[in-house]
Amino acid sequence: MCKKVVNHKTVPMLTYWTSRYVLVLLLSLLVLAIISGIWIRFNAYEHIYNLLEMRAEQLAGMYDRETQEIVFPARQQGEIESNRYKFTSSFSEVVQIAGRSGKVQTYKKEKPVNEISVLYEISAQHQEVLDGRTIHEKFEVDGQTWLRVGVPIYQDGTAGWALYVSLPARNMLQQISRLYGSLALVTVTILIAGWLVLYFLSRGLTRPLRQVATAAQDIAGGKYDPALPEQVKERELQQLIVSFSDMAKQLKQLEQLRTDLLAGVSHELRTPITSIRGMIQAVQSKVVTGSEAEEFLKITLNEAKRLQLMVEELLDFSSFEAGAAPIRQETVDLSRLVAEVVRQLGSSPEFLNLRFAANLPAEQVWVKGDAGRLRQIIINLFNNSQRASATAIRIDLSTEAGQVIIDVWDNGRGIALKDQPYVFERFYRGLPAKKKGLGLGLTLSRLLARAHGGDLSLRSTGAEGTVFRLYLPGSFPGQET
């Protein structure tokens, strides 16, 4: 048998899930990176404004009201400057001082300068600073963005001057770019680490699944001893592997059973045909004559009847399995039917060596069904007991909770433990394999019982004999339904 080829395009489970995980992780990290970038940019501006404000307040404290100039302290060798001062002094800060008259003094790198530029113009919010408020503003100079902070300088409790500290934003943006680079590096690192972690976890998780998939392909190809992982830590995977292993064993057993049964059924059908053909040829060729020829014809007739019964059994089974054989619904006195079958078979030459006993209730037991099919079920059970080399058969009829129960007991050899799960399988004949028949009696009987709304089951079996139980829906004794 060749393996089936999957027509639609598929991908391995490991690739399928890891790719989707990486995509989800990438999208999540991108969203976080965008939010983090916005947060970094926003907080960077706020941080610069705060530093400029601190620097402005520091310079405001250095302002000499009399000379109206900023007096910068001398920096001695080895003097340690604050981080705030280092930060601002490294960025070419521009300091402006404007009074109420509008006169502007500009300092660049702590030296007074006189330049004509938008940068050195007075702020549009100058009056707000003179009113005692601190301002933050952003403006453009020659295509470059600048940040400015303005603080008031007080004299005698009144704001007489406004001090402005300005920085080019490009310096800050360079720092932000470095932060963005670090953020991108962290994002890529997390993405790669997450993918590697999921890859190895998924690989370990899907390994037994891949082995089970390979085993399923082996079974589809007729190999019923696939290689499966022995132990896994995950409970669900272990249950899957154990169940799959049990299924493979059962399939192997059923395949062997099917092969054996097919050979047995073929032999069972071929035997009477061969016997009939040989005996007719012997009579036709005058090999036997007289009374011997009559005996041959009698044997031929019996073999033909046996072949006819097997063919009819096959046809009945096929009809009921396909649901093409209707069940007549008529009122049947089951007590009387059982008694008739016991009398009929008790006087039959085939059952002369069997002792029959019937425990029937005194009152009538009524059921709805097909009397002929019900009779067929009971006869099949008796035939099964006869093939088991029974010498005694007892049938018990009783009612319980609206059900009619028929127990058929025999003292024949019991059913082997390994054969018990298959007694109702089609064409199953059990051991010894030389048993006659097609192995459809119990299968057909169960189909008939279920067609009547009941069931047939094996109640017990052992060295003391075997008991089959037939359930049928009935009515109260003595009352027709």
Summarised one tens digit per residue, pLDDT across range 419-475 is 888 788 777 666 554 455 666 778 888 888 888 889 999 998 887 889 999 999 876
Q: Is there a domain that residue 424 lies in? A: yes
Q: Is there a domain that residue 2 lies in? A: no
Sole residue written with tokens 């299968």: 443
Q: What is the CATH number of the domain that holds 411?
A: 3.30.565.10
Alpha-carbon distance of 303 to 309, in angstroms, equals 10
Q: Is there a domain that residue 76 lies in? A: no
| Whether the predicted pLDDT of 413 surpasses 90 | no
Tell me if 272 sits within 8 A of 307, measured CB to CB.
yes
Alpha-carbon distance of 248 to 162, in angstroms, equals 91
Domain-ending residue, one of 296, 321, 346: 321
Domain-ending residue, one of 176, 196, 220: 176
402 three-state secondary structure: coil
Determine which of 77-81, 142-146, 209-213, 220-224 has the lowest per-residue pLDDT on average: 77-81
239 and 151 within one domain: no
394 and 367 within one domain: yes
351 and 289 within one domain: no
Domain-ending residue, one of 299, 321, 343: 321
- Report how far apart, in Å, the C-alpha atoms of 119 and of each of 134, 145, 164, 177, 320 are: 19, 11, 11, 25, 102
315 and 334 within one domain: no
344 and 456 within one domain: yes
- Dump pLDDT digits (tens) for 186-202: 888 888 888 888 888 77
Alpha-carbon distance of 472 to 454, in angstroms, equals 4
**Residue 93 structural domain:** 18-67+81-176
Instruction: Look at residue 409 in the predicted model and tell me its pLDDT.
Output: 92
Alpha-carbon distance of 422 to 260, in angstroms, equals 13
Q: What is the CATH number of the domain that holds 299?
A: 1.10.287.130
Sole residue written with tokens 């619904």: 329
Q: Which two tokens stand for residue 90?
A: 């490294």
Q: Is there a domain that residue 353 lies in? A: yes
- Dump pLDDT digits (tens) for 62-76: 877 666 677 766 543
What's the total number of domains in the chain?
3
Alpha-carbon distance of 394 to 381, in angstroms, equals 11
Q: Is there a domain that residue 241 lies in? A: yes
350 and 280 within one domain: no
Q: Is there a domain that residue 459 lies in? A: yes
- Dump pLDDT digits (tens) for 83-132: 334 434 445 678 888 888 777 777 765 555 555 455 667 788 888 888 88
Q: What is the CATH number of the domain that holds 87?
A: 3.30.450.20
Q: Is there a domain that residue 426 lies in? A: yes
For 149, phi and psi rounded to 5 degrees?
-125, 135
Q: Is there a domain that residue 41 lies in? A: yes
Report residue 80 CA to chain centroid gap. Answer: 68
337 and 317 within one domain: no
Q: Confirm whether pTM is higher than 0.75.
A: no
